[in-house]
Structure 1
């Protein structure tokens, strides 16, 4: 397959806001790809690389492409591009800079102008084509003629949409049925939807529910097979080396194999949660220092050779109690409304965010956000994308201050601006922003540094109002910064529909 066919499909997707049209364009090029080309094509159309990071950033790629005359006609094949990317990923050590430059020059020098733009965006992680993984998953299902739920489940369990696409196109639903949970391989976590109140969630879900503390911690997934343990973040990053205390606890559990879902939390001497950033700081270091993480588990996906994903939550909770009862998040099964309200108050009094209310009859929907799990917090919060920041004045002169905030476009387009705020920014956060934001700079003018959509911030707000000021038609009311979310990508930010759902009825 010519690489130009992939680039043309990407351009077609970027040129429409119609999800149906995006899926059709993507499905056509995926269906046309040869067996050896499917994996890289699906990865590229999802905006990613099979090789992961290549060690070539904007500076390197920009220096290479500057002055290169683009090819007049497309000749590059998918195989040739994939091979060059493999070579880039495998280049290290003495002389690697020169070898990397040579590979980039050879690749970009044979590319047309459109192909060069696509490659630069792909290699630097800045490909904006309006095709998030969810849209590409739909396209894989259509290309293979396989039910979407079957493809989605296989992708979530395998952790690889490109690999799932190969299986779907070669063996259809029968081959995808062979995908299952594999201990020591991360599973995309089940997610929760916001609820307005405890009573509202109970009315929606009925009496067969579990009400548990919602901790202000970092999501973890712990796998153990024999003596081998792995710990993953919510984005499936392996942090095993950074959390030796959690590894040690996992090895002490009375089982031979297990997969647990939960939260990790740094606590004060009084047993109250430390700031979220103190928990997250451990994920980037192999040294525990003075901060010790305490795991709290709320789900069990596998125990001693038995997969539990499709079992109701009530069965999974029983398994969790049997293997890690002392490490469970405080929870009540089938509480009365008064008991649920008291549990919510107890969670807030203990310094936690609120409660999770979960349907005890529901299976574990890996990678999905549905109504079976609902979260109730004391205030409205949204995870939004930082689109830019304005230079401050007065005591904030020389500091990047007022944030431009965007909500995720579920159709895969650019984030949609919904407001600004400078409230809640401590001096430490102002200093951090001023140092960090230029590393994500897209462009700037006299007043504002505009960023690539990479940083997610959690915003607390009193509500939302209709507004013509911003493209989304809504504006945040009394928005203030709670914290940055280094554990979340822009693809996990709240959608514009989630923002609009807070409008007064």
Structure 2
């Protein structure tokens, strides 16, 4: 397959807001891809080279100045091989050799192909092939049910490999995917609830648990072998030895647990979220211990529990996690549920989770079976740009441009700005970090690659013609950056619009 075919499809997908049109274009491309390049095709279309980080920085790629080829002759397989060679180059002089390899690759690419490769390698490829759209395209190309593809993806955690399996083996091969201890699966997600009373009424028989201000973890143990992953499926086992030791001591042979971890003060209250996250990347900060709180059991001693109701999964959890089960109440009365809320907030946590006891574990999905109840509205938005401050904030990047995720795969939709809630420490970090991912800047504003997620607290939203989504945030303020989340997990524009007063929920 020529790279030009992929580039043309990417451009067509980016040019339409129609989800059906995106799926049709991607499906047609996948049908025409030979088995040996499907991995690369899907990886390129979702904006991530199959090799991951190839060792060539953003500036290196942008500084390449190579005359473009006149005709399209470069194949997807050749690009994939070239990126593989760049990624495996190491040792003395490796930086220069990477530049030479990329220069050769770009010299064989047309202008349109060069543009595509630059955006692919710098994280700027926003052609609209997000996971949901690509999953539908894979199902269409392989002529298999969409739910079968989604379940296989949830269990494998790898979209390109799921595509290969679907196209080569169909539904039967996809159905062969099973939970594998040691291989992370995508976490089940929750939706916001309007209130505790509404969540209780909607879900009926439920459990109400503390919603911690911590970081999501997924724990796998098989004998003495332990693996610990973040919510984005990044392995952090080596940086959290205290958690590894604790999991090895649990009364079981094999287990997969879902939970949260956080650092606590001497008084047992949660430390700032950033302190917890700092442990995920620091192998030498052992004095800041992490404490785990588990709320689900997906596998125990050879038995997979994904499709068992939550009531049964919690029974298994209590037998294996003991004192490390997250605080909460099973089938509480309204008064008991409110007492759980009060206890959670009193301990310094965010609120509560309300979960249907009949629900199965829908990995990677955000449904209504799990609902989060918090005293204030918060959204996870994508940073699109930032303005230079004035007065006391002169010299700092201050006023953030915020975007909600387009569920149909388009670029984030701007919904407002804020400079409130930023401490001097965060302003200093933000000024450095955002300039490192800048795509363009002037004396007033710095536009950035849409890769950082930030949690925003707000009083609500209002109809506004000022922004393309038709809504604007009211009294928005920064809570924290969310390095544990990527833009694919950000709040959608539909979820933002859902905060409008009922009579105004029309949207453009």
Bin for the TM-score computed over the shorter chain: over 0.9
Report the Cα distance in structure 2 between the residues aligned to 1:450 and 1:359, rounded to whole angstroms: 42
1:344 aligns with 2:341: yes
Q: Does residue 467 of structure 1 match 2:457?
A: no
* Structure 1 partner of 2:220: 223
* Cα deviation, residue 204, structure 1: 1.0
Partner of 1:444: 441
Pair 1:360 & 2:364 matched: no
Q: Is the 8 A contact 1:418 1:470 kept in 2?
A: yes
Residue 267 of structure 1 deviates from its aligned partner by: 0.6
CA distance in 2 between counterparts of 1:290 and 1:274 reads: 13
Deviation at 1:289, TM superposition (A): 3.2
Pair 1:110 & 2:112 matched: no
In the alignment, which residue of structure 2 is the partner of 1:95?
A: 93
TM-score calculated relative to the size of structure 2: 0.98
SS in 1 for 2:35: coil
1:137 to 135, 139, 149: 135
Instruction: Give 1:85-484 correspondences, 5 Å limit.
Output: 85-206=83-204, 208-484=205-481
- Map of 2:505 onto structure 1: none
CA distance in 1, matches of 2:212, 2:432: 30
Kindly indicate whether the alpha-carbon contact (under 8 Å) linking 2:218 and 2:231 is maintained by their aligned counterparts in 1.
yes
Residues 289-330 of structure 1, C-alpha deviations (whole Å, 9 max, x = no match): 321100000000000111111111011101100001210001
Q: Any idea what the Cα deviations from partners look like across 1:229-275, whole Å, max 9, x if unmatched?
A: 01000000000011110000000001110000000011111111111
CA distance in 1, matches of 2:403, 2:224: 44
User: 1:145-188: per-residue Cα shift (whole Å, max 9, x none)?
Assistant: 01011111111111111111111111101011111111111110
Paired position in structure 2 for 1:51: 51
Write the distance in 1 (CA, Å) between the matches of 2:410 and 2:167: 27
CA deviation string 1:4-35 (max 9, x = no partner): 11111101101101000000000000011001
- Distance, in Å, in 2 between the alignment partners of 1:412 and 1:218 is 26
Matching residue within 480, 486, 491 for 2:488 = 491
- Counterpart in the other structure of 2:29: 29
Counterpart-to-counterpart distance in 2, 1:125 and 1:414: 13
Runs of at least 4 residues off by over 4 Å:
none
Structure 2 partner of 1:71: 69
The answer as to whether partners of 2:406 and 2:492 remain within 8 angstroms in 1 is yes
For residues 219 and 166 of structure 1, the distance between their equivalents in structure 2, rounded to whole angstroms, comes to 29
Give the whole-Å Cα distance in 1 for the aligned partners of 2:376 and 2:116.
Answer: 42
Aligned-residue offset at 1:452: 1.1
- Contact preservation (8 Å) 2:123, 2:449: no
Conserved? CA contact 2:305–2:313, under 8 Å: yes
Shift of 1:58: 2.3
- Using the alignment, how far apart are the partners of 1:386 and 1:86 within structure 2? 31
Looking at structure 1, the residues matched to 332 and 471 of structure 2 have their Cα atoms a distance apart, in angstroms, of 37
Structure 1: which 5+ residue stretches go unaligned? none
Q: Deviations over 1:89-125 (max 9, x none)?
A: 1111112122212211111111111111111111222
2:18 matched to 1:18?
A: yes
Structure 1: how far apart are the matches of 2:424 and 2:215? Answer: 24
Provide, for residues 376-434 of structure 1, a one-character-per-residue CA deviation record: whole Å limited to 9, x for no partner. 00100001111111111111111111111111111111111111111111111111111
1:401 and 1:77 mapped to 2: Cα distance? 44
Give the unaligned 5+ runs of structure 2: 503-508
RMSD (Å) for aligned C-alpha atoms: 0.9
Residue in 1 that maps onto 2:506: none
1:6 aligned residue: 6
1:62 Cα offset (Å): 2.1
What secondary structure is seen at the aligned counterpart in 2 of 1:373? strand
Normalising by structure 1, what TM-score? 0.98
State the Cα distance separating 1:63 from its structure 2 match.
Answer: 2.4
Structure 1: how far apart are the matches of 2:400 and 2:336?
Answer: 40
SS in 1 for 2:210: strand
